[in-house]
Structures are given as C-alpha cells and as structure tokens.
A and B are shown apart, each in its own frame.
Chain A
Amino acid sequence: MKPVEMVAPATGALELEIMGMSKRFGDVVALDDVSLHIPAGGFHALLGENGAGKSTLVKCLVGFYTADQGTVLVDNREVQIANPKDASQLGIGMVYQHFTLVPSMTVAENLVVARGALPAFINWHEERARLSDFMATLPFKIPLDKPAGSLAAGEKQKVEIIKQLYLQRRLLILDEPTSVLTPDEADEALGLVGDLARQKLLTVLIITHKFREVTAYADAVTVLRRGRFAGSGALPELTIEHMAEMMVGSPVAQDVAPRTQHTPVADVPPRLLIDQLCAQGDHGLPVLRGVNLSVRPGEILGIAGVSGNGQKALVEVLTGQRGKTGGTVLVNGLPYSGRRKEQTLNKVYSLPEEPLRNACVASLSVAHNMSLRNYDKPPLARWGWISQRAMRKQANGYVETFRVKTPGIDARIQTLSGGNVQRAVLARELSHPVELLIVANPVFGLDFNAVAETHARLLAARNAGAAVLLVSEDLDELLELADRIAVMSDGRIVFETPAEKADVRELGHYMAGGHEETEVMQ
C-alpha cells in the first residue's frame, strides 16, 4: 500500500475530505461519525465546546491517533495515514495544541530536523543559508540560535507555524494556534497563512475559540458537539450567534459578563506589595529587573505585556516556583516566599498558565489533582490520614459545580481536553475563601461559554474582597476585568493606569517597549 508516493509530487493547496470518522477512548466516544470537506485553498474553521472532539478529529486525520472508522480523501483519492510521517509525506502538517519543538535544540535545528528526509550528514552552512533566505520572507523575526525551550509561549507558537510553512505544506492544520498569541501576533500569523490560502498554495483547517478570527479569516465552518457533527456553513453568511448556538445546541442567552461598576477601591493597605523584585530565568539571565507593584483587596490589577517580558517569571515567583534574587514580596504586610504554609495562612490561590504543567500532576487522577490544596487538612485528612471518601466527594462536587467534562474523577488528568484541565484547576483554586489570587492567561483555550463563566468567577472573587493579580496577553480581557492596568516590558513595570482611563494605543506603545525610545530587539 503506497498511496503516498503517488500523491507526493503534487504541490499547492490540496482538497480534503473526511468521511465518517469515529474514535473512542475506552468508554469515551470522543468522535462519532464526523465528516468534513474542504476545497483546495479553503480556510476552514472547526468549532466546538471544550471536549467536543476537535483535537481528536485532527489527530486522527494526521495519524497521531488511529481512528476506529472513517476514510480520508486527498484530491479525491483515498489515502491511508497510519502515522504523522505518512501525513507529512502527503503534505499535511499540523501545529498541535501542545508544543512539539525539541526543547534543547535551537530554533534552526528544530526547523531543519522537521524536514524529515534529512541527509546522513548535515551541512549546517548550507542549511543556515537556506533558513535565512526563508526567514527573510516572513513578516516576523525569530532568533535562530536560541534553544526552543527558552522561548516564551508566543514565540514557540510562531516557530511551530513557521516550521510548517518552511516545509511547504499543502494542508496546514492549526489546533488553537493563537491561544498564546496577542491579537496582533495572531493577525500576523493568520494573515500570512490566509494569504497563502488565497493564492491556492495552502489549504487551512483551524481550530479556534475566537469568533473574531473565524469571521476575519475563515470561509467556512464545521461545528462539533459532543463528538458529533452539529452543523456547518459558509462565511460571511453565518452569524456569530448562529455558530454559538450550534456549539451549545440551544439558543445562547445574550448575557454579557456582569461587570459591576467600578466600586472605588477603598484606601486600605495593599494585600500584595512587591518592591524591586528581581529574579533570574532558567539560563541564569535576569528576567525580572526591579518590579514594583501593589494590589489592594477588592481590586484586580491587570498586567499587560507581550509574552516573554517577565510575566511568566513574576507568576512563578509568586507561586513559589522560582526563587527571587532581590527585592521584597509582602502579603498582608508579611514577607512571602510562596511556601505552602504562607499560601495557606494568607489564602493565596493561583491559576498559572499551562495549568497541566504548572498546577497539576499530569499522571494523577482528577480527584487527586483537585485535592492538592487541602489533602492534608480536614475534612480530607484527620490525624494525618487521608479519607478517600472525602476526597472523592469533594472532587464530585467540583466536577458538578464547575462542569468539568471528564470520563470520571479517577481518570488521569492529562486525558482531559485542554479546557477541562483549566476548569478542574479553577474549581480547586476558587472553591475556598480567597484573599490573594494570582492568575495568568486564565481563558487560554476555553470556549466562549467557559470564558464568560471564568470571567464571572474572577469578578466574583474580587467583589468578595480578594486581591487579584491578573496577568494576561489579551488586552480586551484586561480592559474588561481589571481596575488598574500595568504594562510589563523587559522585566519591569513601565506604565500604570486606571482601567477606565486606559487607552489601547498608549498601552500598545508601552508593550512594544516604547518607554525606551528604541526598537525592541526582534
């Protein structure tokens, strides 16, 4: 069976048809008889709630999973795709929801190995020349010699996309490619891909939760609900309301998140006070260079900034994942270093980015992960003994109130879809009285319902008197939720303003390093 060679010489966009694809994981039917057609040069969006089966569909398509049923046609010819290599020989490339760069290799090495058919000996001189030529054609720059592991999430995502373009794919599959990009970065990346599609050089299948991107770039959508086909349509005819309705299966109530008007924050001492905080990154270079900020009870302080300017390190220091090299952090006026005892005492909770990595033990069950905050306290533990019953009861409660879609509380948390991991962590962190909440990019990868729900919960925590530090790369989110907005650039806070006086252009100026009057490097 060698369908691959027959199609390989073709270039340019391909036509894709998926027919009757199904996939189950144990008892979970993740995908049930789904079909899809994209003409050559199409820009097709795949929509659906968290856990609807979108990632599963595309992973079956590229051979990462083996579908239980279903056929795939490329240019009207049936093909067998048993593994990602087959897919790549057909010119099908995918940017996964999680990163697939090799962390210790440089960007250049990553791009070169991705080419698949490597020669036995690699002529780096030649490869680099070819890479530089290619990079010159792109609208954005990426440092070729940095190890991929040291890049910020946004940069990694760009490299993932660049990698696929470098391989001259005929079909590009993007699984939530923009969840870690700022809107501008997303426009750069999608704009580039969209141009290629219009020139019929590339067919695009994109999974996204952002309607803005769907209406701006896609020409057709397919919607999945609970693993089944739930509708499709062409743009611009299809409205956002209609798409949302297909996703949830019933008319969507038009409730905007209950933005309580700015209750002027009482002039009380700050709950979190950070003074001249410095810290080093993984490679020993300073990433925080004297951060000053304060958050009062009942207030959301939003931290804006382009990814890779120290926000990640700031959150890590506050959650105890990274030591500081200078400065002070005071919570309720007392020195704070993120130890468990201090967190418990001051009721500090957090929702870091990439929650599966930073807030979960991936191979433990959902129930265990949900009890990470309080497994050693009553009612879960008595005299040092943990009660499985209490733990399960708590987990079941969380699953219900936060509507976590999981095969069961005993499933390993890494088998949950991205959005549901987020929900599970939110449930754990927000089910107790909170005094200080550290949040980073809380709605990455969440569907629109879940976004509204999460935002409402953050506001509720604030209204209940919590001090909230909200780090987000999404300016709209900050403008919607924050009481004050501070901009972080190059490891410092370079600008601060009350949210109602915030001006997007001004914020953007500072985010781009405008305070230095110089171009930010690359």
Chain B
Amino acid sequence: MVAVDGLGWWGVPLAIFAGAIRVSTPYLLVSLGECITEKSGRINLGLEGVLIMGAMAGYGTSLATGSAWAGVLAAGLVGALLGLLHGLLCSLRRVNDIAIGISIMLFGTGLAFFLGKPLVQPQAPMLNAIPFGFWSSSPQIQSALQINPLFLIGIVLAVVLHYAFRYTRWGMQLRIVGDSADAALALGLRVLPTRILATVIGGFLAGVGGAFLSLYYPGSWNEGLSSGQGIIAVALVIFARWEPLRCLWASLLFGGAGALGPALQAMGITSGYYLFNAAPYVLTLGILIATGSPSRTLAGAPGELSLVRN
C-alpha cells in the first residue's frame, strides 16, 4: 500500500475509520439479527454457519445471475431458511436452543464448504461502494469514504429497531414473548410462532452479513473467509445489552479495533502485528470484565433466554 504522503499521520485514524466501517458491517448485520432472535427468548449460536452459507450462496448467485444484489437477497433467503430450521427444531419439546445452534453452525459451515468448492476460482460481480468522498481531491479521503451500502442499511436498521422495540406493537410483543412466556400466554400471544419468526429474521440478516464477506470485503469465496464473526456477533449482543443502537456502537468499536493492526501495518509498523490483530478480543474481554458484576443481574437480558433463566 502507498505510504503516508499527503496526510501524514492523519492517515492512521482515517484508515482505522475506513477499516472500522468495513470490518464492522458483518458484525452489525449479524448482531442486529441475533438481537431480534434473542429478544424473543432464544439464542441462535448457529449464525456462524448461517454467515458462511450466506457468503457461499451470495457469491454463487452473484456469479450465476451477474447481479451482486441478487446474491445479497439469495444469501438472506438461505439464512432465513437455516433460521427457520433452527426455529422449528427448537420448538420441539425438550430441545435445547444452544445445542441446536451448535449443530446448525457445523452443518452450515460444512455444507457451504461442500457446495462452494467450484466457486473458489471464478470472480463474481461485487457490490459497489458509494463514493462519499467525491468532494475531496485526496485519494486517501476518497478511498476512506467509499462506504458500502450494507453498512448504511445496517445503521438504518439499528435505528429503526431501537424505536420499533418500544413504539410498535410487534416490538412490544416480541419483548413480552422473550421476557416471560407466562405473561405472553396470559396476554394471549403466540409464543412459538413469534420465536420462530424472530429466528428467521435473525437468520436472514446473518445471511446478508455473509454476503458482505464474499461480495464486498474481502470479496471472494474461500474456506477461510470468516474468522468467527458469527460467533463474536452473538457475544456482541450480550455486550450491547440487547440494545440495537449499542449493537451499532459495539460493532464499530470492534471494527475499529480490528482495523488497528492493518492500519498500522500500512504505515509500515510491523512489529507487534499479531498483537494488534488480537485487539478486538482483548477489548471485549476487558470491557466485559469492567462492566460485569457478579452481584448484579445481567441488566436488560430477556428473561426467557436460556442464558439467564433460573
């Protein structure tokens, strides 16, 4: 990469900014989806598998149809299908959502690798970024402000969800079902269908998150595409205390921390590269320890979640 001319050290924050947006997009989409699912009282740990299936399906569809957006849609639908599978299986009696989640994760990953074999070589059409930096003559600024449309969709979604949980009927109903199945029954709400739907929507968003990986950044299909984003996004929801807007900030924080290593590397600082790459994980641990407390209950946790149910 070109070094620092023009902007000098300002290149670092700029690179982190651009990197944060890029890296955070899949976190954002997956965590918003998982936020919806968990608000209904279920955890879908299978999103890692859904993400990879989405990436594969998105890449394949884009290749076949020549339209990246068709790929995004296909990824979402495949994700929704896996979500439906999770939702239905968990609705059987005596079935545990965590165990099903882990099986979906393994199933999704394996299936994607199996079906995706022929997709490793060919180059599919990619999603185009929106050039918000057109006003500047500096190439760094222009490239930093190349913002991908899925990130923008994610922001809008986070804001919409934030209000929807409080101001709409379905938002309230989702929270009731997730917080107390007893209360939901007493109010005449249908618990299982609500949970299944919430898992389907969560799967859809995770699938779209996968499409981002294969169709924008890094923008190819191979078996090392995901580095656990699907799993981390689940932790991120807990970290964000089940609040969509906090999911947004947490994703950006994560993205920023993840972009730190590459940005410094681009500056020519290579010592401690691996250490910087570990930044997001250290950061999560640090914040979780700082904000957690053994004597307090996990504020904001939906009461029906198997994590917190007692």
Contact = CB atoms under 8 A, between A and B. Distances in A.
A5 to B, nearest CB: 15
Given A102-B176, A102-B183, A113-B176, A83 B188 contact: yes
Contacts of A102: 175-176, 179-180, 183, 303
Nearest to A114: B187
Contact of B303 (A103, A116, A120): A103
B167 interface: yes
Interface residues on A, range: 20 to 34
B183 to A, nearest CB: 4
Contact of B179 (A86, A88, A103): A103
A276 to B, nearest CB: 18
Nearest to A362: B310
Given A118-B169, A118-B172, A124-B167, A88 B188 contact: yes
Contacts of A112: 172
Interface stretch (B80-88, B114-122, B294-302): B294-302
Contacts of B167: 121-122, 124
A119 B169 contact: yes
Contact of A104 (B169, B179, B187, B294): B179
A94 B187 CA distance: 10
Given A84-B186, A85-B188, A284-B296, A105 B176 contact: yes
Contact of B182 (A100, A113, A284, A322): A100
A270 interface: no
B153 interface: no
Interface string A71-108: 00000000000011110100000101010111111000
A109 interface: yes
A167 to B, nearest CB: 11
A322 to B, nearest CB: 7
A375 B176 CA distance: 38
Nearest to A88: B188
Contacts of A88: 187-188
Contacts of A114: 187
B35 to A, nearest CB: 14
Interface in A271-313: 280, 282-284
A64 interface: yes
Contacts of B166: 122, 124
B306 interface: no
Contacts of B65: none
Interface residues of B, number: 28
Contacts of A122: 166-169, 172
B185 interface: yes
A283 B182 contact: no
Nearest to B299: A283
A404 B80 CA distance: 49
A88 B189 CA distance: 12
Contacts of A284: 293, 296
A88 B187 CA distance: 8
A101 B183 contact: yes
A231 interface: no
Contacts of A103: 179-180, 303
A84 B188 contact: yes
A116 B187 contact: yes
A495 B277 CA distance: 61
Nearest to A63: B188
Contact of A323 (B170, B185, B295): B295
B185 A64 contact: yes
B94 to A, nearest CB: 11
B300 A104 contact: yes
A94 B183 CA distance: 12
The residue among B167, B168, B186 with the most chain A CB atoms within 10 A of its own CB is: B186
Contact of A105 (B175, B185, B310): B175
Interface in A432-448: none
A283 B295 CA distance: 9
A472 B289 CA distance: 38
A121 B168 contact: yes
B183 A100 contact: yes
Interface string B145-170: 00000000000000000000011111
A457 B300 CA distance: 41
A190 to B, nearest CB: 21
Contacts of B175: 102, 104-105
Given A101-B183, A102-B179, A283 B296 contact: yes
Contacts of B303: 102-104, 149
A15 to B, nearest CB: 23
Nearest to B293: A284
A355 to B, nearest CB: 14
Nearest to A282: B297
Interface in A377-434: none
Contacts of A96: 182, 186
Interface string A317-351: 00000110000000000000000000000000000
B185 to A, nearest CB: 7
A116 B172 CA distance: 11
B208 to A, nearest CB: 25
A88 to B, nearest CB: 6
A280 B296 CA distance: 9
Contacts of A64: 185-186
B275 to A, nearest CB: 35
Contacts of A101: 180, 183
A88 B188 CA distance: 9
Contacts of B300: 104
The residue among B166, B169, B187, B300 with the most chain A CB atoms within 10 A of its own CB is: B187
A89 to B, nearest CB: 9
A109 B172 contact: yes
A85 B172 contact: no
A85 B187 contact: yes
Given A85-B188, A101-B183, A104-B179, A322 B169 contact: no
Interface in A50-85: 64, 83-85
Interface of A: 64, 83-86, 88, 94, 96, 98, 100-105, 109, 112-114, 116, 118-122, 124, 149, 280, 282-284, 322-323, 357
Pick the 10 closest A-B CB pairs, nearest first: A85-B188, A118-B169, A100-B186, A100-B183, A102-B179, A102-B183, A84-B188, A102-B176, A323-B295, A102-B180
5 contacts: A83-B185, A100-B183, A101-B180, A105-B175, A112-B172
Given A102-B183, A122-B168, 12 more contacts: A64-B185, A83-B188, A84-B185, A84-B186, A100-B186, A102-B179, A102-B303, A105-B179, A118-B169, A122-B166, A149-B303, A284-B293
